Amino acid sequence: MKTNFLKLSLLALVIFTASCSSDDDKNTTPPVVVTTKVSDLPAPQTGGGQAGPASGEFTKFSFSENKIVTTDKWDIAFRGTVIIVNGGAKYNAADTGEPARTGSGSVSIVSGAFASVTAFPAASTFAQDAASAYAFPASGANAWYDYNGLTHVISAKAGKVFVVKTHDGKYAKFEILSYYKGAPANPDPSKTEDTRFYTFNFAYQANSTTTF
């Protein structure tokens, strides 16, 4: 009995040491972050442009739940071409359609191909919404879209990846693919009923590591 136990423990020891590969250099591989595609997320808006200030409810989205939510547990929200993050303060306190910020979300903008963005950007690059200042820039080099004055097409900028610190402190990255319903390769901007539908890829890092 004793010998069997000894043999068994020796065997267990051998198996145990053999199964331990010498991977001191390698990090433990985190679970693979999956890229999910969200298609045609509606972001309607009333008014705006020449017709006065924009109004209407923002469409709230949660990365962890991968769906539109109506609760306070949202990460980013869309209305027309405006995107807001659940962190900071309301852009326009008088706008009833704009949800109050209930989380500590923020966003950082990175240039690169979606799959190549693996490390989280430095904490100082993250910004939250504030009164009269969007964290997602509405214009300039870091806006999510370009408006072509000749063709009137709103096209999502290539190589623009948004790394979002979610309302509860996790990280997600997303890249907008299209602003038009069905994400056509050549959108027809005159079909206004097909605008304000977001198609985007995102990846959500549920763990507390610092990479995607």
146 counts as binding another protein under rule CB under 8 A: yes
Q: What is the footprint of another protein within residues 184-203 (CB under 8 A)?
A: 185, 199
CB 45 within 8 Å of CB 80: yes
Tokens 């008088």 appear where? 94
Measured in degrees and rounded to the nearest 5, phi and psi for residue 10 equal -60, -45
Tokens 């072509």 correspond to 148
Q: Can residue 94 be called a binding residue for another protein (CB under 8 A)?
A: no
Q: Does residue 98 bind another protein (CB under 8 A)? A: no
Binding mask 22-51 for another protein (x = CB under 8 A): --------------------------xxx-
Residue 20 found at the interface with another protein (CB under 8 A): no
Contact 87, 59 (CB under 8 A): no
When binding is defined by CB under 8 A, the residue of 114, 134, 204, 212 that contacts another protein is 114
The phi and psi torsions of 15 (rounded to 5 degrees) equal: -60, -40
Q: Which of 84, 156, 163, 164 binds another protein (CB under 8 A)?
A: 156
Distance CA 16, CA 6 (A): 15
Q: How far is the CB of 59 from another protein (least distance, A)?
A: 21
Instruction: Show the CA angle centred on residue 111, arms to residues 192 and 210, nearest 5°.
Output: 115
- Please identify which residue in 65, 89, 93, 159 interacts with another protein, judged by CB under 8 A: 159
- Give the residue ranges of DSSP H helices in the chain: 2-19
Residue (65 or 146) nearer to another protein, CB? 146
Which residues make up the interface to another protein (CB under 8 A)? 48-50, 111-114, 139, 141, 146, 148, 150, 155-160, 175, 177-178, 183, 185, 199
